[in-house]
Structure 1
Amino acid sequence: MKPETEGELAEVVAGLSGPVRIVGGGTRDVTGSEPILNTAGLSGITLYEPGALTLVAQAGTPVAEIEAALEAEGQQLAFEPMDHRGLMGTSGEPTIGGVVAANISGPRRIQAGACRDFLLGVRYVDGCGQIVKNGGRVMKNVTGYDLVKLMAGSWGTLGVLSQVSLKVLPKPEATLTLAVHVQNAKTAIQALSVALSSPFEVSAAAYDPQYSSALLRLEGFADSVTYRETRLRSELANFGEFTEVQDPVSQWRSIRDVSAFQGSDGDVWRISVKPSDASEIATRAEAEKTIFDWGGGLVWALVPKGTDLRKRLRAFQGHATLVRADTDTVRTLGRFQPESVGVAALTRGLRQKFDPRGIFNPDLMG
């Protein structure tokens, strides 16, 4: 099933007699036995106003198409969404609907915010086949239910996105990335924390153990970047030696897309924690490889196939998501962190209202 208009999508959903699996570009390898409802036919930028920093696109529009249009005007998606293809070993094209549905956000999240923070409006089809519109094309306070934020990160379990409206931002005039050479993860997280708590507007902070360097990105006007670099070097002088990364675009793309895990056997977990707990969590994980992003708030872990990482981590403040594993492991362990009793009840209630027939990705979130 591959509708090409919102009306066709509504007709398809209204006529469904059983569950379906919603797919955009198919880059995140969310498998299942249900028939596929593919949104890639709903493609194209329908409105772009560079002066208003606003873009509207159908859900199946390739992210690359949107980035190319923005690049021509010196603008960008500030939340720099991850490309999962290398990590997952998949093909296809990432779509903007898939990015919004999973709230995919890259290294700049710590400064600019997540994908949902740039989402102005959505159009989607609910489980009864009704077309629903919420939000608009400008940033403003609204009354009523903020379904825009609710749809971001719902993974297609509440409705099928047909169109999204996004706020975009100008690209920075200058970008510089510093590498602070450190001895271990604990020291790296301390350095990242000091940098992020400083007034020098660090736009990305990560640590890749294979390079033994804490990475810090500065963006903005050239004079400002130069000044902040000097001050940041002074603030972090006791942590280790500094070098400037010569190809920062590739470096942050590598962090964003978890390139260090690509081509490696094993399961991949994404762990969200307090940055102060990151090094301890990484030790408990006993992972073959780790990468720290968001100042330590996001830990990527590569572990042997079939490892129950949640059991290994024991109780902790955060959640562990199984991003890459075979079907049996996903079925046994569950892709997402189990919800508390109260939250699970709220989730069931929301899904019952949005999708009373239970047809959208029924087993994805438990």
Structure 2
Amino acid sequence: MIVHFEPASEEGIASVVRSAAAERVTLAVVGGGTRAGLGNPVRADRALSTRRLSGIVTYDPAEMTMSALAGTPLAEVESALHAKGQMLSFEPMDHRPIFATTGEPTIGGVFAANVSGPRRYVAGAARDSLLGVRFVNGRGELIKAGGRVMKNVTGLDLVKLMAGSYGTLGILTEVTFKVLPLPPAAATVVVSGLNDAEAAAVMAEAMAQPVEVSGASHLPESVRSRFLDGALPDGAATVLRLEGLAASVAIRAEKLGEKLSRFGRISQLDEAQTRTLWAEIRDVKPYADGTRRPLWRISVAPSAGHQLVAALRLQTGVDAFYDWQGGLVWLRMEADPEAELLRRYIGAVGGGHAALLRAGEEARGRIPAFEPQPPAVARLSERIRAQFDPSGIFNPGRAAALVQN
């Protein structure tokens, strides 16, 4: 039976780590446990959760910065921000629907996994909002890096390195991050009836317009009815989000609709529909189906996403939709993950990253969950891990790449 630890202080976490290092036993590091199915299985001797290390430490709305303990529920952070008309600009997704997990996402887990949503391609990833961290390394030492303002760049590279390291370098105990004003209004322009290639061209056209599109996604007919309870217009939907002051959003939506009307039928979603739709895109609603069918998160050039999917459809059964102007492909395989085929085709369309988010236990045990690194990068990653965690006690088996989109 695995022993579970839930320390309520940094020193408590450090003590557990020191004991594990001395006894040469491994630790599975978790926050709220909502991403339990992500990546290769972590088989450890003990489990350590940060969920009791909870609370907002400081929040300065005027400076648009917040510090919070790593186990603070994401919902608590977002509630405090919304009360002041602010938000996390990178729009972190909730992984519970696709993994069929419970618990509460934590702010530490968000940064440890570099979780970002539809606004990422214009606002940056989670790591781009991270200003400072406190964490416990594999020796049980407490490390502090970064600060509360962006101009303080001391240790900034270390801060970014911790974001997306999936608990393989250290255990985050506190994070400091910047926030942005919450847009007071939003609308979505819908172009209906386009195939994947046509949608890629339309999204590129939309991004070239001076209308500040903050979300660009294409929902093929195979998934369109699973959004907004089927309320989207008939046909594949290419959806483009606009945010800001209400009057500005209305004018920009009208201009964008006029510009794109030659490509297909134009309609518009109101603010309530827009908020719902983009939350569903963020949380990958079509594939939150309670199954373990393989689900890939693929990052490629925006012009290459539809080419990749078209090539795969000639070889195997797949379903997909697109975010980040086509550069993020959510791809569900009907049977085997087909990792070798997929990664070969990614190389053929110009390269990118593929992460196997979900699969059956057997597939998760044999397929590298993250994009295999070039040999030189892999050696550098191992040297970095050896410096942070010399005994190799954190999240054994989780081969997390240190650079992930």
TM-score relative to the length of structure 2? 0.87
Residue 82 of structure 1: CA displacement? 0.4
Counterpart for residue 298 of structure 2: 271
CA separation of 1:78 and 1:173: change in aligned 2, threshold 3 A: same
Q: Secondary structure at the match of 1:314?
A: helix
The reply on whether 1:154 has 2:165 as its aligned counterpart is yes
Q: What code does the residue aligned with 1:295 have?
A: Q
Choose from 4, 9, 16 the match for 1:12: 16
2:7 is aligned with 1:3: yes
Q: 1:37 aligns with which of 48, 68, 73?
A: 48
Equivalent-residue separation in structure 2 for 1:103 and 1:40 (angstroms)? 18
Q: CA deviation at 1:262?
A: 1.3
Q: CA deviation at 1:283?
A: 1.7
Aligned-partner Cα distance in 2 for 1:238–1:100: 42
| Equivalent position of 2:34 in the other structure | 27
Task: Check whether the contact 1:271–1:321 (CA below 8 A) recurs between aligned residues.
Answer: yes
Q: Which amino acid aligns with 1:172?
A: P
Q: Name the aligned partner's letter for residue 261 of structure 2.
A: A
Is the aligned partner of 1:224 residue 2:248? yes
Question: How many residues of Structure 1 are paired with residues of Structure 2 in the alignment?
Answer: 366
Q: 2:47 and 2:197 mapped to 1: Cα distance?
A: 44
CA deviations on 1:101-132 (whole Å, 9 max, x unpaired) are: 01000001111111111111000000100000
Question: Could you tell me which of 388, 398, 402 is aligned with 1:354?
Answer: 388
Query: In structure 2, what residue type is equivalent to 1:22?
Result: V
8 Å Cα contact 1:182/1:240 also seen in 2: yes
CA distance in 1, matches of 2:50, 2:152: 30
> Aligned residue for 2:227?
none
Q: Is the 1:267–1:307 Cα contact (8 Å) retained in structure 2? A: yes
Structure 1 residues 269-316: Cα deviation after superposition (integer angstroms, max 9, x where no partner): 111100110101112333532120101110001113432234245142
Name the CA distance, whole Å, in 2 between partners of 1:233 and 1:215.
Answer: 11
Q: 1:294 aligns with which of 311, 320, 324?
A: 324
Aligned to 2:282: 256
> What TM-score comes out, normalization by structure 1 length?
0.96
**Does the CA-based 8 Å contact 1:27-1:93 persist in structure 2?**
yes
Deviates more, 1:125-134 or 1:243-252: 243-252
Q: 2:191 aligns with which of 180, 187, 194?
A: 180
Q: Which of these residues, 327, 338, 353, is aligned with residue 372 of structure 2?
A: 338
Of the three residues 249, 252, 269, the one matched with 1:245 is 269
Q: Which residue of 2 aligns with 1:86?
A: 97
Does the 8 Å CA contact 1:182/1:188 hold for their aligned counterparts? no
Question: For 2:343 and 2:395, how far apart are their aligned partners in 1?
Answer: 28
3-state SS of 1:207 partner: strand
After the TM superposition, which parts of structure 1 deviate over 4 Å for at least 4 consecutive aligned residues?
A: none
Q: How does 1:159-238 map to 2 (within 5 A)?
A: 159-209=170-220, 210-211=223-224, 212-238=236-262
Q: Residue in 2 aligned with 1:77?
A: 88
Distance 1:321 1:341 in 2: 18
Q: Distance in 2 between matches of 1:196 and 1:138?
A: 30
Give the counterpart letter for 2:325 in structure 1.
Answer: G
Taking only the aligned residue pairs, the percentage that are identical comes to: 46
The answer to whether the 8 A contact 1:285-1:313 is kept is no
Can you give the 5+ residue segments of structure 1 that lack an aligned partner in the other structure?
Answer: none
Q: Is the 8 A contact 2:146 2:156 kept in 1?
A: no
The Cα of 1:237 is off from its aligned counterpart by 2.0
* Larger RCO: 1 or 2 (CA < 8 Å, sep 6+): 2
The aligned counterpart of 1:307 is 337
**What SS does the corresponding residue of 2:303 show, helix, strand or coil?**
helix
Instruction: Quote the Cα distance in structure 1 between the aligned partners of 2:264 and 2:393.
Output: 54
In structure 2, the CA distance between the partners of 1:70 and 1:143, relative to structure 1 (3 Å rule), is closer
Q: Report the CA distance shift for 1:144/1:39 in structure 2 as closer, same or farther (over 3 A).
A: closer
Query: Match for 1:249: what amino acid?
Result: R
Q: Distance in 2 between matches of 1:90 and 1:264?
A: 10
1:62 counterpart letter in structure 2:
P
Q: Describe the SS at the equivalent of 2:148.
A: coil
Secondary structure at 1:51 match in 2:
coil
Provide, for residues 203-224 of structure 1, a one-character-per-residue CA deviation record: whole Å limited to 9, x for no partner.
0111111321111000112222
1:97 paired to 2:108: yes
